[in-house]
Amino acid sequence: MADEKRIKEALEINSRWSGSADQLWARISPRLRPKGPWRQQRQFWLGTAAAALLILAFFLKAVQSPLPPPAEPEENPQLRSFSALPEEEALLRAPGETIEFTLQVFPAPEGQQLGPPLLAITRLEEDQEPFLVEEIILDLEILGEVSGEAASFTLALQAPGRAGFYHYRAQGSFQQDGIVYNLQGAMEVEVQED
């Protein structure tokens, strides 16, 4: 039988890397940072939108508030941290439990329309590519209350039935009374079975 030590040696001497870790890191690190204008970060699969059409169940509350429009990532020094990582601690929920998901709505800056308002739910597996679980077109009848100002809304959603780690992201544009609004929201949810 082949000697284990010699197998290790054979693999060791035939895999010496002459490349540069610095160069490789230079290729990786930009892809972990925010990518310029927020509207360029959309990663929705529009082809599945029709099949996933869902009327939003209800809004728990619609709070009129003088929230300023969120800053663009490149203008916000706090976003030097990596956008791919969760910005906050994941919300812990049991399967099927209610999740409160906050949306921010604000008049769209000139030329920054984001397409249809969509909510994408992505499952994150330890060793897999992120998997799109569901994509929902938001029915935003409630947005008659926006009245030209920034506002935040809390949606009541149901946690997935399967334990795991999920990323929720909503964004899109809509027009009302001649004003174009953008909406956005993101959160991480960890579903744990008892």
The residues of the shown chain that bind other proteins, judged by CB under 8 A, are 1-2, 4, 6-21, 24-25, 27-29, 31-32, 80-82, 84-87, 90, 124-127, 129-130, 164-165, 188
Least distance (Å) between residue 176 CB and other proteins: 35
Nearer to other proteins, 27 or 194 (CB): 27
CB of 25 to other proteins, least distance (A): 6
Residue among 16 and 58 whose Cβ is closer to other proteins: 16
Residue 102's alpha-carbon distances to 62, 87, 109, 151, in angstroms, are 10, 14, 21, 10
Output 89 or 177, the one with its CB closest to other proteins.
89
Count Cβ neighbours within 10 Å for each residue of 108-125 and write b for 16 or more, e otherwise: beeeeebeebbbbbbbbe
For residue 74, CA distances in Å to 40, 94, 103 come to: 12, 36, 21
Nearer to other proteins, 4 or 75 (CB): 4
Give the nearest distance from C-beta 152 to other proteins in angstroms: 23
Shortest Å, Cβ 164 to other proteins? 8
Q: Minimum Å distance from CB 112 to other proteins?
A: 25
Separation in Å, CA 138 to CA 52, 94, 131, 151, 160: 10, 24, 20, 16, 18
- Judged by beta carbon, residue 7 or residue 53, the one nearer other proteins is 7
Distance from C-alpha of 80 to C-alpha of 30, rounded to nearest angstrom: 11
